[in-house]
C-alpha cells in the first residue's frame, strides 16, 4: 500500500510542502476539495491506520520503530494544528489513537 503511486505522490508532496504552523496556514494550503487536501488526508489517514495497528498489537511495535521514522515525521508536522482542526471539524478524535485497555 505504501508503494502505491498516488500515496507515493502524496508522501512526496507532504514532505516537501506541508510545513504549516497554524490551522489558518493549513486551510490556505489545503482547502477542501483541493489536491493538497487529498494528499494531506491520504498521508495522515495512512499513518493513522498504521498507528492503530501498533497500539492494538497487530504490528510488533519494537520491530516497527527500528525503521518506521516516517510516522514520527508526519506527527511532528501535524501536531501543532490538531487542536484547532479537531475543533473546526467537530471531531475530537481526529488523528488520535488510544491504546486499548488490557
**What is this structure's pTM?**
0.86
User: Can you tell me whether residue 88 is helix, strand or coil?
Assistant: helix
Q: Is the pLDDT of residue 44 over 60?
A: yes
33 grid coordinates: 476539495
Per-residue pLDDT tens for 25-34? 999 999 999 9
Rounded-to-integer distance, Cα 44 and Cα 52, Å: 12
Q: Is the pLDDT of residue 66 over 80?
A: yes
Give the residue among 10, 1, 38, 40 at the shortest CA–CA distance from 23: 40
Residue 98 pLDDT: 64
44 grid coordinates: 495522515
- Name 45's Cβ contacts closer than 8 Å, sequence gap at least 6: none
- DSSP H helices, 2-68, are 5-17, 23-29, 35-56, 61-65
By CB atoms closer than 10 A (0-12, 13-18, 19+), residue 81 is buried
Amino acid at each position: 500500500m505504501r508503494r502505491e503511486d498516488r500515496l507515493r505522490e502524496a508522501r512526496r508532496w507532504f514532505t516537501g510542502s506541508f510545513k504549516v504552523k497554524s490551522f489558518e496556514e493549513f486551510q490556505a494550503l489545503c482547502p477542501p476539495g483541493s489536491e493538497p487536501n487529498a494528499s494531506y488526508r491520504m498521508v495522515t489517514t495512512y499513518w493513522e491506520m498504521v498507528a492503530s495497528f501498533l497500539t492494538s498489537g497487530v504490528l510488533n511495535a519494537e520491530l516497527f520503530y527500528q525503521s518506521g521514522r516516517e510516522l514520527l515525521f508526519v506527527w511532528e508536522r501535524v501536531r501543532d494544528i490538531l487542536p484547532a482542526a479537531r475543533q473546526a471539524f467537530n471531531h475530537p478524535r481526529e488523528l488520535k489513537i488510544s491504546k486499548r485497555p488490557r
